[in-house]
Amino acid sequence: MSHKDTLKHVLASTWAMLTRGAAHSSDPFHEPVLATGNADGCGLRTVILRRADETRRILICYADARSTKIAEIEHSGCAGWLFYHPRKKIQVRIHGAATVHTNDATAEAQWERVKGFSRLSFCTEQPPGTPLLRPSSGLSERLLKDLPKLISSNAGREHFAAIIGHVAYMDWLQLRPSGNLRARFQWDADLPDASWIVP
């Protein structure tokens, strides 16, 4: 058995992929699917992975504080993440507790990382999902008239939320012509309960 087919290597390489995904916009792991529970079953949407911290076992993404996913996380206290790397044929599913930060030091520190046009995502006049009569970004004409001033201001801060997902469970799957491989990692404390499982 190759060293690459050990649980230790799988876990280390998966965290390396998550870290790279957070750092590089062209990486497939940069845009995972975030899943939250709702009355209809499950809400799914693509988000941007902003940070992956192996030491703290956390993943971070941002959202408009008025969006439904924020209410769903606050209600359930958890979230799921789905990553897929098409070249490596690796799928990673993660879930665990999730917290929302809007008016604390964590939110402030993350907001400082939001630069330029990215701040526009939090400047719509109405909450995400509000019905419109015609296609629109939701940004007011007043804001759009002075974009340079807008993106250098603190506009949108009141609608900004950082979502922190805690990695309590990780399911790793690699598709292979000779037979797929799958591993599971579950944390009750600092050390994971790791095992190979049937794909």
43-55 pLDDT, tens per residue? 999 999 999 999 9
Instruction: Report the distance separating Cα 18 and Cα 50, nearest Å.
Output: 10
Nearest to 137 by CA among 59, 82, 40, 64: 64
pLDDT (average), residues 164-190: 95
Instruction: Report the distance separating Cα 146 and Cα 99, nearest Å.
Output: 34
Q: Using an 8 Å Cβ cutoff, are 192 and 11 in contact?
A: yes
The pLDDT-based confidence of 190 (bands split at 50, 70, 90) is confident
The identity of residue 40, as a single letter, is D
The pTM of this model reads 0.93
Distances (CA, A) of 157 to 12, 96, 102: 35, 27, 9
Q: Which two tokens stand for residue 81?
A: 């993440």
pLDDT digits (tens, 9 = 90+) for 100-125: 999 999 999 999 999 877 888 898 88
Quote the pLDDT of residue 3.
Answer: 60
pLDDT > 70? residue 141: yes
Mean pLDDT of the chain: 92
Residue 183 CB neighbour total at 10 angstroms: 20
- CATH of segment(s) 3-124+141-196: 2.30.110.10
| Bridge partner list, 36 | 43
